[in-house]
């Protein structure tokens, strides 16, 4: 009797998950973690180079005396 109920419960959970249902103790919100890790569509701040006008992200830019430069060559030209 108990074995039949166990098999029926497992089959029910499998069907529920097959059709898109979430089971909290089995899923652990893995989909939400993957969405947070994705960098696609992330907006980055950019600045233009003081010498040539090329736009670079603030992460890649060189900053010297409150001016932004795209490369060492532009930084040397400014001196």
Question: Would you state the pLDDT for residue 52?
Answer: 93
For residue 60, what are its two tokens?
């890649």
pLDDT at residue 72 greater than cutoff 60: yes
Question: Would you state the pLDDT for residue 28?
Answer: 60
One domain, residues 31 and 52: no
pLDDT at residue 60 greater than cutoff 60: yes
pLDDT at residue 48 greater than cutoff 70: yes
Domain that holds residue 19: 2-37
One domain, residues 10 and 31: yes
pLDDT, greater one: 14 or 22: 14
Size of the chain in residues:
79
pTM to 2 decimals? 0.48
Angle value at C-alpha 54, between 48 and 60, nearest 5 degrees: 70
Neighbours of 45 (CB within 10 A): 8
Question: Would you state the pLDDT for residue 4?
Answer: 87
* 76 Cβ neighbours under 8 A, 6+ residues apart: none
- Structural domains of the chain, count: 2
- CA 34 – CA 41 distance, rounded (Å): 14
One domain, residues 50 and 72: yes
């Amino acid at each position: 009797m108990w074995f039949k109920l166990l098999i029926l419960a497992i089959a029910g959970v499998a069907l529920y998950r097959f059709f898109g249902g979430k089971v909290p103790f089995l899923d652990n919100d893995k989909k939400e973690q993957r969405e947070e890790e994705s960098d696609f569509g992330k907006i980055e701040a950019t600045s233009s180079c003081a010498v040539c006008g090329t736009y670079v992200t603030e992460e890649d830019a060189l900053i010297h005396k409150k001016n932004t430069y795209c490369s060492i060559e532009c930084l040397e030209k400014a001196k």
